[in-house]
């Protein structure tokens, strides 16, 4: 099994038309572990000609796949989920090495993906069409009836980010294929080996040749060519806001779903359970070193309880285990690369130079950054507005609810927010006013459970993920109108 997609010198292959295809250009990208720089493997840097060949294969395969009954498609997904569960430890270990995700989170990403795939199969079987009689509209008779069901869009381009290379690939692939589409998966370069293992699982589960094909290569080199390709019918992208904007600009009129960056605020009111809030904020801000789109990335706390909250946060942060993600219990792990750490430290220096108070954490070595908390953060500081994608957390003190809402909404992002309060009326008042996709009441910001709608507004995205929503996004209604005689 392992040898299919790789060989002795750790050179990986892409899945094309049901076969593991060697690079035709002999151009490769070396993937090194963020943990220790060791070589994880080499993946092909595919050329435009290779991309053309792969997309042609995807387009051809979809013509047959679209006619496979949904119960047969579902059977393959159930099998893929079972294989993922069986290989969770193995694939989790690859992921821990490739993206420095702590081993517990890496393995749970794989098992969560298995659950996601099963639920997708269930949801697809439950999705029915409708029959709409004409006479409910003035001037028409009952003899005119519209039969509506959902049909696939064609070839879906799935582009996933480094921080969830298995889950955020499968959360595109599974709903797309169960909807009758074929998928071209362009995984993150740092994460592509983990994603190739996912592709292997779908192949082993019996997904017909060409229904899932992979294309590895740097997005900055081959990305524009792929997204603009005439035979790509839908783009399902998860990644940074800057790349999302870029894709959207160069692909006018191409249907797409964009899940982008975030700057999720945790709003803490004076009546909040501060212990509970501190637990949730620390977990939400620092798991996987804050490299989650839904990480808590700023705290807006009423001044009267700010000192207490900062103390409680500090007590928790100091206990977070840092180090090698392959060791059980590690939370603060090496960031994905030095460039990411440089950006995080830029925000830190800017905040300190403008008067932020460092509460805890200061060390940075190469791509490792300690968990850091800053108090008295003001709105002239970059850390108040920019997405660090790293383990640094700003505390902004506010006077009242309306100031919290104002500051929260001034962000360019609108993914999620948390509100910590015992007053349900205040919670709903704030939730109603926040310009975000989701408001968590008395909980950290997070995407799961995965059947919930998950969406960003403003610079956080366009369209809605979440199992049923994803199937709907990658299919469309098809109406057949019967005009009977009587």
The reply to whether 241 sits near ligand G3P by the rule CB under 6 A is no
* CB neighbour list of residue 129: distance below 8 Å, 6 or more residues apart: 147, 148, 149, 150
Contact partner at residue 218 from ligand NAP, ligand G3P, none, CB < 5 to 8 Å by partner kind = ligand NAP
What's the closest the beta carbon of residue 291 comes to ligand NAP, in angstroms? Answer: 7
Residue 306 contacts residue 408 (beta carbons within 8 Å): no
Contact partner at residue 224 from ligand NAP, ligand G3P, none, CB < 5 to 8 Å by partner kind = ligand NAP
* CB neighbour list of residue 168: distance below 8 Å, 6 or more residues apart: 160, 161, 238, 259
Quick one: which segment of 24-32, 133-141, 161-169, 223-231 binds ligand G3P (CB under 6 A)?
Answer: 161-169
User: What is the β-pairing status of strands 256-259 and 357-360?
Assistant: unpaired
Residue 200 contacts residue 5 (beta carbons within 8 Å): yes
The reply to whether 294 sits near ligand G3P by the rule CB under 6 A is yes
One of 4, 53, 60, 224 touching ligand NAP (CB under 6 A): 224
Nearer to ligand G3P, 294 or 470 (CB): 294
Contact partner at residue 261 from ligand NAP, ligand G3P, none, CB < 5 to 8 Å by partner kind = ligand NAP
Total binding residues toward ligand G3P, as defined by CB under 6 A: 9
The reply to whether 293 sits near ligand G3P by the rule CB under 6 A is yes
In 3-state terms, what secondary structure has residue 16? Answer: strand
* CB neighbour list of residue 332: distance below 8 Å, 6 or more residues apart: 286, 289, 320, 321, 322, 323, 370, 371, 391
The reply to whether 263 sits near ligand G3P by the rule CB under 6 A is no
82 exposed, middle or buried (CB, 10 Å; 0-12, 13-18, 19+)? middle
The DSSP H or E segment spanning 283 is: helix 274-286
The reply to whether 387 sits near ligand NAP by the rule CB under 6 A is yes
Nearer to ligand G3P, 51 or 195 (CB): 195
- Around 267, how many Cα atoms within 13 Å sit in the side-chain half-sphere? 30
Contact partner at residue 223 from ligand NAP, ligand G3P, none, CB < 5 to 8 Å by partner kind = ligand NAP
Residue 460 contacts residue 262 (beta carbons within 8 Å): yes
What's the closest the beta carbon of residue 294 comes to ligand G3P, in angstroms? Answer: 4
The reply to whether 440 sits near ligand G3P by the rule CB under 6 A is no
Q: Using CA atoms, how far apart are residues 356 and 103, in angstroms rounded to an integer?
A: 34
E strand intervals along 263-304: 264-268, 296-302
The reply to whether 163 sits near ligand G3P by the rule CB under 6 A is yes
Neighbours of 276 (CB within 10 A): 14
Torsion of CA 53, 56, 62, 65, to 10 degrees: -50
What's the closest the beta carbon of residue 31 comes to ligand G3P, in angstroms? Answer: 20
One of 119, 197, 368, 389 touching ligand NAP (CB under 6 A): 389
Nearer to ligand G3P, 386 or 446 (CB): 446
Question: Would you give the binding string for ligand NAP spanning residues 192-221, x where CB under 6 A is met?
Answer: --------------------------xxx-
Pick out residues in 229-288 that bind ligand NAP (CB under 6 A): 238-240, 243, 246-247, 259-262
E strand intervals along 376-463: 392-398, 413-414, 416-420, 438-441, 454-455, 457-458, 461-462
Question: Would you give the binding string for ligand NAP spanning residues 131-170, x where CB under 6 A is met?
Answer: ----------------------------xxxxxx---x--
Q: Using CA atoms, how far apart are residues 460 and 468, in angstroms rounded to an integer?
A: 20
Residue 115 contacts residue 190 (beta carbons within 8 Å): no
Nearer to ligand NAP, 46 or 207 (CB): 46
The reply to whether 445 sits near ligand NAP by the rule CB under 6 A is no
Pick out residues in 167-186 that bind ligand G3P (CB under 6 A): 168
What's the closest the beta carbon of residue 259 comes to ligand G3P, in angstroms? Answer: 7
Residue written as tokens 């009129």? 253
**Residues acting as catalytic residues:** 259, 293
One of 233, 264, 375, 446 touching ligand G3P (CB under 6 A): 446
* CB neighbour list of residue 131: distance below 8 Å, 6 or more residues apart: 145, 146, 147, 148
442 dihedral zone (left: phi>0; alpha: psi -120 to 50; beta): left
One of 448, 449, 453, 477 touching ligand G3P (CB under 6 A): 448
3 exposed, middle or buried (CB, 10 Å; 0-12, 13-18, 19+)? exposed
- Identify the sign of the CA torsion 55, 62, 82, 455: positive
Contact partner at residue 233 from ligand NAP, ligand G3P, none, CB < 5 to 8 Å by partner kind = none
Nearer to ligand G3P, 281 or 381 (CB): 281
Contact positions vs ligand NAP (CB under 6 A): 159-164, 168, 186, 188-189, 218-220, 223-224, 227, 238-240, 243, 246-247, 259-262, 293, 387, 389, 415, 456, 461
Contact positions vs ligand G3P (CB under 6 A): 163-164, 168, 292-294, 446-448
């Amino acid at each position: 099994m392992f040898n299919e997609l790789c060989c002795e010198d750790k050179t990986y292959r892409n899945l094309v038309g049901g076969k593991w295809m060697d690079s035709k250009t002999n151009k490769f990208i070396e993937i090194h572990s963020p943990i220790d720089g060791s070589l994880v493997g080499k993946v092909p840097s595919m050329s435009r000609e290779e991309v053309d060949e792969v997309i042609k294969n995807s387009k051809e395969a979809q013509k047959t796949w679209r006619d496979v009954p949904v119960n047969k498609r579902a059977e393959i997904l159930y099998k893929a989920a079972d294989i993922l569960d069986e290989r969770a430890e193995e694939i989790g270990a690859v992921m821990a090495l490739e993206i420095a995700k702590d081993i517990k989170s890496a393995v749970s990403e794989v098992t969560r993906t298995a659950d996601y795939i099963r639920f997708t199969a269930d949801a697809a079987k439950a999705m029915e069409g409708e029959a709409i009689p004409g006479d409910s509209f003035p001037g028409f008779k009952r003899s005119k009836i519209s039969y509506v069901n959902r049909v696939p869009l064609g070839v879906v381009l799935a582009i996933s980010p480094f921080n969830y290379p298995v889950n955020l690939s499968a959360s595109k692939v599974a709903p797309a294929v169960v909807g009758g589409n074929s998928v071209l998966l362009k995984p993150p370069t740092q994460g592509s080996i983990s994603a190739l293992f996912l592709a292997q699982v779908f192949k082993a589960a019996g997904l017909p040749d060409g229904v899932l094909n992979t294309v590895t290569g740097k997005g900055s080199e081959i990305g524009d060519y792929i997204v603009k390709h005439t035979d790509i019918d839908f783009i399902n992208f998860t990644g940074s806001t800057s790349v999302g904007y870029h894709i959207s600009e160069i692909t006018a009129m191409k249907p797409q779903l964009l899940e982008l960056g975030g700057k999720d605020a945790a709003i803490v009111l004076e009546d909040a359970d501060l212990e509970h809030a501190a637990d949730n904020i620390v977990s939400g801000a620092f798991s996987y070193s804050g490299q989650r789109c839904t990480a808590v990335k700023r705290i807006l706390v009423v001044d009267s309880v700010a000192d207490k909250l900062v103390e409680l946060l500090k007590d928790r942060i100091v206990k977070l285990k840092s180090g090698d993600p392959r060791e059980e219990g590690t939370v603060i792990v090496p960031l994905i690369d030095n460039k990411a750490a440089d950006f995080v430290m830029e925000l830190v220096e800017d905040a300190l130079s403008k008067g932020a108070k460092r509460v805890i954490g200061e060390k940075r070595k190469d791509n490792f950054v300690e968990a850091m908390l800053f108090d008295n953060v003001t709105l002239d500081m970059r850390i108040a507005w920019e997405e660090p994608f790293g383990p640094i957390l700003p505390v902004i003190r506010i006077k009242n609810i309306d100031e919290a809402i104002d500051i929260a909404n001034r962000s360019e992002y609108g993914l999620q927010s948390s509100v910590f309060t015992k007053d349900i009326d205040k919670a709903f008042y704030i939730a109603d006013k926040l310009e975000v996709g989701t408001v968590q009441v008395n909980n950290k910001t997070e995407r799961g459970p995965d059947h919930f709608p998950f969406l960003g507004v403003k610079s956080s995205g366009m369209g809605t993920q979440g199992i049923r929503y994803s199937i709907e996004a990658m299919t469309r209604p098809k109406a057949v109108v019967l005009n009977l005689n009587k």
